Structure 1
Amino acid sequence: MSTHTPSSKKTSLHTDQKVPFFHPKRTDKIATGVLYGVAGFFILLLVAFTLYILVRGGFAAVALMGHETEGIGAQLFNTIYLVILSLLISAPIGICAGIYMSEYMPSGHIASITRTCIETLSSLPSVVIGLFGYLVFIVMTGSKWNLMAGALAVSLLNLPLITTTTEDALRALPKNYRESSLGIGATHWQTIVRVLIPAAIPRILTGIILAGGRAFGEAAALLYTAGMATSIDFRDWNPTHILSPLNPFRPGETLSLYIWQLRSESIGVDSQSLADLSAAVLIILVFIFSIGARCIGNALERKMTGKKD
């Protein structure tokens, strides 16, 4: 007489079954671990790279103490001034273009052609933009290398990024934002200015920060437009004077160009230290710009949307 009961048979069947290796939960844990590992690796790589530049810059600053060098004050001012000029040109145009593409441009062949042109412009090498800027802003105007020509060339590089970021930010907003505003009697333009733009400010600001970061580190486009020499007098702030720091139509060497010159052409004793110091200052400048832009954007968002901390 058999002593096995039905319940004991079911128990033995369950214990004999093996969990497959590619079980959904196990696969999810493995994929999550791989993604965390990849993200952690790149974060550590970025931190190590940043610390390496900052440490070398600190040692360079100590080594340059007591040396009679020209310093990097003029190049630092030129970099900040050029970034401001380029963003004053590209940010309003890019935001308006993104608003038009998101809210007004009808879908069809024209829209697809426009987006293809923007994608093509964003993929152009900066050297090509620099040569175009040299031909249009320097040769055709009969002028010499100047900061305004460099700002216009950098603006061409920034326009696709700001335009696509603005368009994507507006399209990503929920439809009830538009419907609720239009339902209470607001016009389309009032809806854009008072509802959509404030809600999309964080993503639009991200595009502006990326554009500014690219402008800080741009060198190839400025090589043909802004020039590699600078002569300014910080005692003269009249924008119409050729030696004034505020004159946008004077040659202006930026930090990125100065680093390239020191690394490739300079034979001075302190060229290595100056290049390391310039790189560290450029990294710090980008950090300050990003953090400052975020703080301003958060303040604007709170003011326009009524959010509280």
Structure 2
Amino acid sequence: MNAKTSNKVATAVIYSFVGIVVLLLFFLIGYILVNGIPYISWHFLTSPSQSFLAGGGIRDQLFNSIYLLILTLIISVPIALGSGIYLAEYAPDNVITKLIKTAIEVLSSLPSVVVGLFGYLLFVIKFGFGFSILTGAIALTFFNLPLLTRNIEESINDVPDLQREAGLSLGISRWRTMVKIVLPSALPGILTGIILSAGRAFGEAAALIYTSGQSAPIVNYSNFNIFSQSSFLNPMRPAETLAVHIWKLNTEGVTPDAHSISNGSSAVLIIVILLFNLGARVIGNAIYRKITSGRRG
């Protein structure tokens, strides 16, 4: 077999593997959407769930997922941003830095259920936070932090050194060069990583079963006092998220229409995650065009 023929064969094999992956992805997403979209309605999205009666919705679970995600990003983004800047710009190339990067890699490969059990033992039991939104947000921070840190580090490293040298040659300090020149250039990649990690956290269930809880108590959406137990903004109340709700329906669901609610909830979850991924690309391209007047691929 000559080089030209072997190249064609190798290319065909690679395209075949890629095609299989794409077909599997479309099959899974299509199956969930086809079976779930017919059950989605305004009543389904705005009604509370029912434990024993049919006709319940996912209002509280959907709000809990969004609230927990916002709280997670508030905690994790500043930590990941500082860590990413340090590793990309200030960390010396020595054994300690390599150890830190190895620890980040190990942490990113931990199963989410292990992170959930860690959060349960430390924050729920040891610190006495109980099952709460705050405990779930802290657990998701541990789950999300390695991905965010590596993304921010790589986005900063992708900025050409010429931009750093230009700032330093003008007498600008290293920190101001980072803040005023390097960070804005890396912003599209950083925002893309944040949005993608948000989609990953939004669909997480295993870590939240042991931290935020499996119950969705009735809350008062007109009560804005975060210290009130009945307030929807209270971060110390238990909060069953949408992903946990799906798991619960398929394992312990006793409602007559548990299968229908599970299908509809799964479709909503997939749609939201797809919107996160689409939003990451659109926002990243928009910011990149604004900064460079160009377009990313």
Please say whether Structure 1 and Structure 2 have the same fold, judged by a TM-score greater than 0.5.
Answer: yes
User: Can you list the C-alpha shifts for 1:6-50, whole angstroms capped at 9, x where unaligned?
Assistant: xxxxxxxxxxxxxxx231x33333322222222222122212211
Looking at structure 1, the residues matched to 286 and 131 of structure 2 have their Cα atoms a distance apart, in angstroms, of 38
Looking at structure 1, the residues matched to 211 and 16 of structure 2 have their Cα atoms a distance apart, in angstroms, of 43
**Which of the residues 133, 147, 167 maps onto 2:153?**
167
- Sequence identity of aligned pairs in percent? 45
* Alpha-carbon contact 2:84-2:153 (below 8 Å) kept: yes
**Which of the residues 210, 220, 233 maps onto 1:224?**
210
* Alpha-carbon contact 1:205-1:294 (below 8 Å) kept: no
Q: How many residues align?
A: 285
Query: Within 5 A, what are the aligned runs for 1:1-309?
Result: 21-23=1-3, 25-61=4-40, 68-231=54-217, 232-303=219-290, 305=291, 307=293
Amino acid at match of 2:183: I
Looking at structure 2, the residues matched to 120 and 270 of structure 1 have their Cα atoms a distance apart, in angstroms, of 41
TM-score, normalisation: structure 2: 0.88
* Alpha-carbon contact 2:224-2:232 (below 8 Å) kept: yes
Moved over 6 A (4+): none
Which secondary structure state, in structure 2, belongs to the residue aligned with residue 31 of structure 1? Answer: helix
Measured on the aligned residues, the alpha-carbon RMSD in Å equals 2.1
Amino acid at match of 2:35: R
Looking at structure 1, the residues matched to 254 and 2 of structure 2 have their Cα atoms a distance apart, in angstroms, of 61
Which has the larger displacement, 35-44 or 113-122?
35-44
User: Can you list the C-alpha shifts for 1:261-306, whole angstroms capped at 9, x where unaligned?
Assistant: 1000112210000100100000111122233344444444455x26
Amino acid at match of 1:195: I
Which secondary structure state, in structure 1, belongs to the residue aligned with residue 17 of structure 2? Answer: helix
Amino acid at match of 1:200: A
Amino acid at match of 2:194: I
Compute the displacement of 1:229 (Å): 0.8
* Alpha-carbon contact 1:234-1:244 (below 8 Å) kept: yes
Compute the displacement of 1:180 (Å): 1.8
* Alpha-carbon contact 1:146-1:227 (below 8 Å) kept: yes
Which secondary structure state, in structure 2, belongs to the residue aligned with residue 39 of structure 1? Answer: helix
Compute the displacement of 1:68 (Å): 4.8
- For structure 2, the residue ranges without an aligned partner over 5 or more in a row are 45-52
Looking at structure 1, the residues matched to 150 and 294 of structure 2 have their Cα atoms a distance apart, in angstroms, of 29
Which has the larger displacement, 53-62 or 106-115?
53-62
TM-score, normalisation: structure 1: 0.85
User: Can you list the C-alpha shifts for 1:90-111, whole angstroms capped at 9, x where unaligned?
Assistant: 1121121011011001111111
Looking at structure 1, the residues matched to 11 and 185 of structure 2 have their Cα atoms a distance apart, in angstroms, of 31
Compute the displacement of 1:136 (Å): 2.0
* Alpha-carbon contact 2:189-2:284 (below 8 Å) kept: no
Looking at structure 1, the residues matched to 224 and 294 of structure 2 have their Cα atoms a distance apart, in angstroms, of 40
Amino acid at match of 1:39: V
What's the counterpart of residue 8 of structure 1?
none
Looking at structure 2, the residues matched to 280 and 216 of structure 1 have their Cα atoms a distance apart, in angstroms, of 13
Looking at structure 2, the residues matched to 193 and 39 of structure 1 have their Cα atoms a distance apart, in angstroms, of 40
* Alpha-carbon contact 1:127-1:220 (below 8 Å) kept: yes
**Structure of higher CA gyration radius:** 1
